[in-house]
Amino acid sequence: MSVNRSIHPRFPGWEYQFCPKCGGKLELRQVKRGEPERLVCTACQFIFFLDPKVAAGVIFKLDGKIVLARRAIDPGYGMWVFPGGFIDPGETVEEAAIREAREEVNVEVELQGLVGVYSYSGVPIVVIVHAGELVGGELRAADECLEVRSFALDDLPWEDLAFSSIRDALGDYLRRYMGKTPPEIKEEF
């Protein structure tokens, strides 16, 4: 089966047509029975695994309120998130979560524990979220943020969260770290 349709069937939007090793044409093939089709080079037989990206995030409070940032980039421009982003090569999940808090909202945090790991069918991203404690810095919108605010629990902008992982992690954080029940959100992300 040819990949000329330019979209991998399991990850819409991932457009790969040529081998990263030799430049040969990629095609979808069944490499091993029981596994999904893989992109395979027709020239050198290199198997191009489309592994998911891994992102790290951190949820923390300022004066008892949860800190969120409004995104200044797509996807989710103008919507609310906690600090987070992709892990750089050679960086640990924990280092990435701490770095993202510094880059996005100008604060230093210490991680307190794992909130959860979030993945969704058809989405090639795994999000790992920690709870954190604010230990330094001055809260302000920085890299990739329009604004940053701290929200009382009753004022969290559930309908304006950028991604399912943000909603799900905030819900888990409220349950596990604050003993609260998040509201039922019917809107699909």
| All domains of the chain in start order, with CATH | 1-50 (no CATH), 53-178 (3.90.79.10)
Instruction: Identify the residue whose tokens are 């999940």.
Output: 93
Assess whether pLDDT exceeds 50 at residue 80: yes
- Span of 60-69, 130-139, 158-167, 175-184 with lowest mean pLDDT: 175-184
Number of CB atoms found within 10 A of residue 72's CB: 15
> What is the distance between the alpha carbons of residues 100 and 78, in angstroms, rounded to a whole number?
18
Mean pLDDT calculated for residue range 127-151: 96
Assess whether pLDDT exceeds 90 at residue 188: no
> What is the distance between the alpha carbons of residues 143 and 42, in angstroms, rounded to a whole number?
42
69: β partners: 81, 148
Beta strands 53-59 and 125-137, pairing class: parallel
- Which residues participate in catalysis according to the annotation? 147
Assess whether pLDDT exceeds 60 at residue 6: no
Assess whether pLDDT exceeds 90 at residue 102: yes
Burial 2-15, CB ≥16 within 10 A → b, else e: ebeeeebeeeeeee
